[in-house]
Amino acid sequence: MPNAIEHRASAFKGGSVTCLARVIDADGDPIVVAHIASATCVVELIDANDEDADVAVAGFEDVDLTVANVVYDELVTDDDRWTVDATGYNFCHTIDTTGEDGSPFLIAGREYRVTYTLGPSTGPVIIVRFRVKVI
């Protein structure tokens, strides 16, 4: 049974972040492009006093992602950005800061939650979350 993990990351104020993870399905196998029908992303500013009151950042609510751009069929093991283990990752997404909305990470000293929702062709939805500290 997969474990729920909120990955930690950091970003500079006004910058971006690349989110890397090894994502497995309900059977414990690494996900592959053919088994994921949809992918979305939301960035929320975490309310330090009440995490139930987190607020989605304008322009970064339910952003549709192209599955083939964020999910890999093979685990990537030759990327120096991945420092977790030698097994590798199969999910990678860089928050787009080049659009009209710019960066979602605008308040130094605050934390943001980046939540990816992966909709498999069959089986339960897969949630991948990152907690980003802005410096």
How far is residue 96's CA from residue 108's CA, in Å, rounded to a whole number? 18
In a domain, 22, yes or no: yes
Q: Domain range for residue 87?
A: 6-134
Using one digit for the tens of pLDDT, what is the confidence trace for 51-106?
Answer: 677 889 999 999 999 999 999 999 999 999 999 999 999 999 999 888 888 899 99
What tens digit of pLDDT does each residue of 15-35 get?
999 999 999 998 899 999 999
CB atoms within 10 A of CB 127: 12
Per residue in 39-52, pLDDT (tens digit) is 999 999 998 777 67
Q: Are 67 and 90 in contact (CB under 8 A)?
A: no
Report the pLDDT value the prediction gives residue 3, as an integer from 0 to 100. 64
Residue 37 has pLDDT above 70, yes or no: yes
In a domain, 60, yes or no: yes
Provide the pLDDT for residue 104.
Answer: 95
Rounded CA-CA distance 57/101 in Å is 10
Whole-angstrom distance, CA of residue 79 vs CA of residue 76: 7
Q: Is residue 10 part of a domain?
A: yes
Would you say residue 1 has pLDDT above 80? no
Neighbours of 120 (CB within 10 A): 15
Classify residue 90: in a domain, yes or no.
Answer: yes
* DSSP character at residue 69: H
76 part of a folded domain: yes
Domain contains 38: yes
Tell me how many domains the chain contains: 1
Residue 1 lies in a domain: no
CATH number of the domain that residue 10 is part of: 2.60.40
Answer yes or no: are the C-beta atoms of 117 and 124 closer than 8 Å.
no
CA–CA distance, 100 with 103 (Å, rounded to integer): 9
pTM metric for this prediction: 0.92
